[in-house]
Structure 1
Amino acid sequence: MYPPKILILLFVLPLTFSSSRLAMSKSFALNVELGTIWRNNPSLLHNISPDDNFSMRIILPMDAFTTFISSSHDASIPSFACGFFCAGAVATCDDYIFSIFFVSVYSFKDVVYLHSPEVVWSANRDHPVKENASVQLTELGDLVLCDADGTLVWSTNTTEKSVAGMNLTSTGNLVLLNHANMELWRSFDHPTDTLVTGQVLQVGQKLMASTSMTNWASGKIYLTVLPDGMHAFAGTDTPLSYYRSPTGGTVMTNRSAYVALKNGSLEVFTSFRDTEAPDYQIKLPKDNYGLVFVRLEFDGHLRLYQMPNNSWLTSDLFDITDPCAYPLACGEYGICSNGQCSCPDAAIGQSGLFELIDPREPNRGCSPIDSVSCDSSQKPRLLSLPNINHFNGVYNWTTSEERCKLSCLNNCLCKASFFKHSDASTGYCFLASDIFSMISVKAGSYPSNFSSLAFVKVNRATRNFMLTQGKLAVVLAIGSSTFIAMVVVAVLVVLRRNMAEPLEDDDIIDQLPGLPARFSFMELKSATEDFSKVIGKGGSGSVFEGQICDKQVAVKRLDGINQGKREFLAEVQTIGSINHIYLVRLIGFCAEKSHRLLVYEYMPNGSLDRWIFQRHQEAPLDWKTRLRIITDVARGLAYLHSDCRETIVHLDIKPQNILLDEQFTAKVSDFGLAKLIDREQGSVMTRLRGTPGYLAPEWLTSVINEKVDVYSFGIVIMEIICGRSNLDYSQPEESRHLISMLQDKAKTDKLLDLINPRFTDMQCHLDEVSRMMNLAMWCLQVDSRRRPSMTEAVKFLDGAMDVETELDLDLVNLELMVANRAVRGNFAATLQIDSVLSGPR
């Protein structure tokens, strides 16, 4: 423990950098003990100069920092510190992040100054906390961050790891230690947007750039390590690569790649042995500036930060020569041409559709004057931009220009479509749900018969207000009488809508033939006894048992629906038209004002997970029943994929969404994430949705087809056979991932070791069990083209065909496992849901 030191400002120093005097009220322990708590208020060591453009409150200096504060010598030292850092307006800061920051400390005549701080790690940048928030190392060994109202914001989840204390290392690594000083948790293993010297970025880990220079939340640009090297991507729905290190290796040959920041270089390793020389090396400009770090900035640049003389020097590390090749070279919606930026409408000589975010800085991008949203009642239109490409230049499906445009218009998530073609009638299309900078295609970039077009979605209503000044003068000359008439008409329209809402509902429903039975809200409220008997809850609502006439039903009340009535009814029409013995039947619906309810057939034995996981294993299902359930699910999925007008991809196949009737007949339920795919299209771009543990590897590309259901079906087969979840974090680490165990046992020809010895009935059917495991491995092929269709799976189950003999036994996709863990571990992460229809759980 170091004694407190009184700091007195004796005179004003003529410093050339932003500086701050330190206020300190207590001494600090280097190794924090269990039960220690800090509150975010001025009682912490903090900077107090009114001239600062930053605000920090320090809870844990490293050894050298604490020694420096207790020293009486005039000196200057760079240091890491840990504490609360203002992520908002400094003058009236009410948004703080718990973070590690690099800061230079300057002492002169007993007055200590801070200057030039840079945050290198943060726990809660997506969820800032307020004044009087707290950080505590609990008695159970969990480091937790709570907001001022007591809400848990972040935690290390280390209550079961025998944590004894906490420290901040000289390299800026916040660590939790056991009694033997072994590290049990490290901030280095949870990077944000920065790598410091000595830190390693492993396969699957990410540096996620902030949203903007002033918004610290996670943005849409990230850098990651894949088995073949270091990659930078832009986009959350359909990530597009804009940089790749020139390294070798492939996804199937290497699992041990990493990137390390060392003194003098950023090194990329893709070989099997860590001791070998790096496969690629980015030499840093100088290596004698002590502590340095690299940060992935909001604009996509990877910048090196060095401090030689009390101020930061920065330099780019990516070898990208074209400034327009960065995803935000001209900001969102901006068009980059030879490093110059403009808005889409200005590029074609129009105005009134977009405006620069900051006219003084055109590279900050553009924003639509009248934004387009999925909730808008106005149907959007497309602004056609010739000779424009998106920054990545990759097109992911072949189609016609008209279909490329219509696909974007009919997908509310699509913000622009890009089409490249020759004189032929077909070309290459890309649908963009994330808008980045666009690039003006230079003459000669393509052969003479090629052209590149961009179609940017804008609000149709905007066109009505694009008046020239001459037209505006004419309008103003018409006089006040026209204005009054327009107001009267508008009022009458609003009154008519308010008075005739039931008629409008009827008009919508009349336009959608083939809908199932329609119920009023009061009918369903009565049928469920005022929604009193809850039988299940799902991500989109709650399920209630009910009685309609003499028929028992399950009524799902959808919560938090932002979907319009017409879109809801269109989905009801699609799902209601499906009638198959192995699909839960939609009996009816209610779409009345804000109420959205679905009425399903009642399934008395509930969901499959209740019968194959822990709860019912005292009396496990016999093998005959398990085999029949596998077959039922296969037949239901085959119908969705092959026998409907459009391919219906379920996207969330798991035991919780497989329901059992009184005879244990299995039926696929919960179409809340279902996606329709035109049979001519074959695949579709969509954002990540589904459940961690059941996601197919191709979700990493966001371009999927019905084979993602086949992969999930393979997972379910193994869960039915083994009686456990694919991802079971209650198991020892080596047994947590069922498919990893399947891979290992398959390679050593010990598949039957996976059978739970308590399932004695299976011992009499080992040949059939082995056959089902082979089907599961066929469905779990990493390459989706090698998986069977569900129709082929049904034929296999019927004995009409054999399983593929040349199976790839490398079933585990490491990047997907990391993504699964990230989704599970981040309590704030939510998988996006585009549809709301959902069966009873």
Structure 2
Amino acid sequence: MRSTSCFFVCYILALLTVRCTAADSSIPTRIIKGFTASPTSSNAQFEPLLADITGVFAFGFLHIGSAKLDLAVIHLPSTQQVWRANPFNLPNWGNSTTFSFVGNLVLTDATIQDGPVWASKSAGGDYLSLSNNSNLQIYNSVGADSSLWQSFDYPFDTLVQGQKLSSSTTASLHTADKRYTLRIDIAYLALFMEFQGGQELNYWLHTALKAHALKDIYAQVDPRGFLGIYYVRDGVRIDQIPFDSFERGNLGFHRLTLQPDGNLYAYYWNNNTWVLVYTAQTEPCGLPGICGAYGICIPGSPFHCSCLVNGTDGCLQTDSGDFCGNQNSGFSVVRKSGVTVEYTDIMETIAVESLDECEKTCAQSCVCWGALYADTTKNCYIMDYPIQTVEKSGTAYQGYFKLRSNDHGVVGPRKKHQNKQGHPGVIAAVVIFTLSFAGMVAYGGYWWWDKRRNRLPVIQLGKAPKEETAAEPIKDPGTK
């Protein structure tokens, strides 16, 4: 109890430290070219370098974990991060790390690599400022009406009101581990789960109602309580996703955030806390990673997790690859009735006549990891990605899931399969074994024939065979 109380007190003090430090008038509202800084306090959660003129947002060093840092913009009243640079290699929290403004933003750590670990890749900037809606911007002193670079064009996991996410760029929202992304295309918004090797799982999709196949669109959070979708060319709104705050007046500052579990939430700030007003996937079991790879999510409040396949620590983990090529062609099969996913309507679907046909379709495809068969519609839903969480449901669906031979899992009896192309190493081993066995049989046959040959009658041409005579019985010593 004492440790819990101490933790709570320390946490409150940390929040107060962040707020008081950031609100300090010594924190500049503009950074001039030539500025450099390194983190100074070993126990600070955030060290501000720049604040907006209202004191609501600040830019600076954000402590990540126990010893790393990132450049970030945070909402000071709540300490909620709304933007991060998120380099591939996070630098260390210490004197080895330096932030510099030399016309562009540069973050270096000599203990990790030579050269920048992250840079804004802009040029010609004279000063850096932070707007009152959290946009970090680089300006040239001449013609400062438009910025040379802005953080709004490079979002992290959050889209704030006034910020655009456009199909005309490669920008997307993404989690820190880049496991989940929110992307916008010319006709839709979509959530994806990413895998190594370029595979992806689309588990949520919103199609813009009036989108034109040849026109770029963008999405923007509106303070009136909705995510608007507009044409880039003329700004005409063609669709919207309403929040619970829709048509309730200007309640407060809104943001749309992609959570670490892959769900998409919208909030507004009511001057005290962030109020949740939108959830993209309302059922937790509809999130593909909620119970991990080869997991089963059992709906309820709260939901529960079990495993399709047990691994050494929880469910079997697999994250990439396929069944193509010589190294991955072997697999086993796990079958499970009464499981499905929430996003079958956006999966690849094939009309089949039976469960057997659905299974064969997947078995013969080296990029297929599994399939769901719907008894009522005779649809076969193809999973062309490593198996993730499925949801327990009624008996309308039958699940067929592949398990790579080089993965180690524990399930019930499994039927062994092999892709038709076979494995050259296995084929060679079989051939060598077969030839060796044949040689042994041939040698054994010759040895038996040679022994028999010495006991058989000798046949000479033109002569009758000489008969063998029986051996005389051993006489009893008492007989004559």
For the criterion TM > 0.5, the same-fold answer is yes
Deviation of 1:17 (Å): 8.7
Match in the other structure for 2:40? 41
Match in the other structure for 1:344? 307
Deviation of 1:432 (Å): 3.3
Give yes or no for the alignment of 1:392 onto 2:343: yes
Higher alpha-carbon Rg: 2
Percent of residue pairs identical: 19
* C-alpha distance in structure 1 between counterparts of 2:90 and 2:224, whole Å: 34
Match in the other structure for 2:193? 234
Deviation of 1:277 (Å): 4.5
- What root-mean-square deviation, in Å, do the aligned CA atoms of Structure 1 and Structure 2 show? 4.1
Give the counterpart letter for 1:344 in structure 2.
C
Match in the other structure for 2:173? 208
Alignment of 1:598-637 (within 5 A): none
Give yes or no for the alignment of 1:263 onto 2:223: yes
Select the residue among 131, 138, 158 that pairs with 1:169: 131
| Contact 1:420 1:453 (C-alpha < 8 Å) held by counterparts | yes
Q: For residues 147 and 63 of structure 1, do their structure 2 counterparts lie closer, same or farther at Cα, with a shift above 3 Å needed?
A: same
Q: For residues 334 and 509 of structure 1, do their structure 2 counterparts lie closer, same or farther at Cα, with a shift above 3 Å needed?
A: closer
Alignment of 1:638-653 (within 5 A): none
TM-score using structure 1 length: 0.41
Q: For residues 316 and 310 of structure 1, do their structure 2 counterparts lie closer, same or farther at Cα, with a shift above 3 Å needed?
A: same
Deviation of 1:81 (Å): 0.8
Q: For residues 313 and 85 of structure 1, do their structure 2 counterparts lie closer, same or farther at Cα, with a shift above 3 Å needed?
A: same
- Structure 1 outlier segments of 4+, above 6 Å: 13-18, 369-378, 463-467, 506-509
| Greater fraction of residues in strand | 2
Q: For residues 64 and 101 of structure 1, do their structure 2 counterparts lie closer, same or farther at Cα, with a shift above 3 Å needed?
A: same
Give the counterpart letter for 2:264 in structure 1.
L
* C-alpha distance in structure 2 between counterparts of 1:163 and 1:19, whole Å: 33
| Contact 1:306 1:313 (C-alpha < 8 Å) held by counterparts | yes
| Contact 2:186 2:211 (C-alpha < 8 Å) held by counterparts | yes
Deviation of 1:377 (Å): 9.5
Alignment of 1:47-126 (within 5 A): 48=44, 55-65=45-55, 79-88=56-65, 93-104=66-77, 116-126=78-88
Match in the other structure for 1:431? 383
* C-alpha distance in structure 2 between counterparts of 1:242 and 1:388, whole Å: 16
Give the counterpart letter for 1:269 in structure 2.
I
Give yes or no for the alignment of 1:420 onto 2:373: yes
| Contact 1:299 1:326 (C-alpha < 8 Å) held by counterparts | yes
* C-alpha distance in structure 2 between counterparts of 1:299 and 1:344, whole Å: 18
* C-alpha distance in structure 1 between counterparts of 2:219 and 2:239, whole Å: 10
| Contact 1:222 1:234 (C-alpha < 8 Å) held by counterparts | yes
Select the residue among 258, 272, 277 that pairs with 1:296: 258
* C-alpha distance in structure 2 between counterparts of 1:278 and 1:507, whole Å: 58
* Structure 2: tracts of 5 or more residues without a match: 1-8, 414-423, 432-480
Deviation of 1:291 (Å): 2.7
* C-alpha distance in structure 2 between counterparts of 1:335 and 1:419, whole Å: 14
| Contact 2:362 2:382 (C-alpha < 8 Å) held by counterparts | no
Match in the other structure for 2:149? 185
* Structure 1: tracts of 5 or more residues without a match: 1-12, 49-54, 66-78, 105-115, 211-215, 346-351, 358-365, 446-450, 468-505, 514-841
Give the counterpart letter for 1:418 in structure 2.
A
| Greater fraction of residues in helix | 1
Q: Deviations over 1:755-800 (max 9, x none)?
A: xxxxxxxxxxxxxxxxxxxxxxxxxxxxxxxxxxxxxxxxxxxxxx
* C-alpha distance in structure 2 between counterparts of 1:465 and 1:241, whole Å: 28
| Contact 1:222 1:233 (C-alpha < 8 Å) held by counterparts | yes
Deviation of 1:170 (Å): 1.2
Give the counterpart letter for 2:72 in structure 1.
S
| Contact 2:348 2:382 (C-alpha < 8 Å) held by counterparts | yes
* C-alpha distance in structure 2 between counterparts of 1:422 and 1:465, whole Å: 25
Give the counterpart letter for 2:53 in structure 1.
D
Match in the other structure for 1:516? none
Match in the other structure for 1:353? 310
Alignment of 1:582-597 (within 5 A): none
Deviation of 1:148 (Å): 3.9
SS at match of 1:63: coil
SS at match of 2:54: helix
| Contact 2:199 2:320 (C-alpha < 8 Å) held by counterparts | no
TM-score using structure 2 length: 0.68
Q: For residues 185 and 435 of structure 1, do their structure 2 counterparts lie closer, same or farther at Cα, with a shift above 3 Å needed?
A: farther
Deviation of 1:272 (Å): 6.6
Deviation of 1:154 (Å): 1.3
Give the counterpart letter for 2:38 in structure 1.
R
| Contact 1:245 1:280 (C-alpha < 8 Å) held by counterparts | no
| Contact 1:165 1:177 (C-alpha < 8 Å) held by counterparts | yes
Deviation of 1:294 (Å): 1.6
Give the counterpart letter for 1:225 in structure 2.
I
Give yes or no for the alignment of 1:406 onto 2:363: yes
Select the residue among 398, 404, 417 that pairs with 1:452: 398
Q: Deviations over 1:528-568 (max 9, x none)?
A: xxxxxxxxxxxxxxxxxxxxxxxxxxxxxxxxxxxxxxxxx
Q: For residues 207 and 378 of structure 1, do their structure 2 counterparts lie closer, same or farther at Cα, with a shift above 3 Å needed?
A: closer
* C-alpha distance in structure 2 between counterparts of 1:463 and 1:226, whole Å: 38
Deviation of 1:260 (Å): 1.1
Give the counterpart letter for 2:31 in structure 1.
V
| Contact 1:372 1:457 (C-alpha < 8 Å) held by counterparts | no
Q: Whose RCO is larger (CA < 8 A, sep 6+)?
A: 2
Alignment of 1:303-342 (within 5 A): 303-318=265-280, 320-339=281-300, 340-342=303-305
Q: For residues 208 and 509 of structure 1, do their structure 2 counterparts lie closer, same or farther at Cα, with a shift above 3 Å needed?
A: same
Deviation of 1:16 (Å): 7.2
SS at match of 1:343: strand
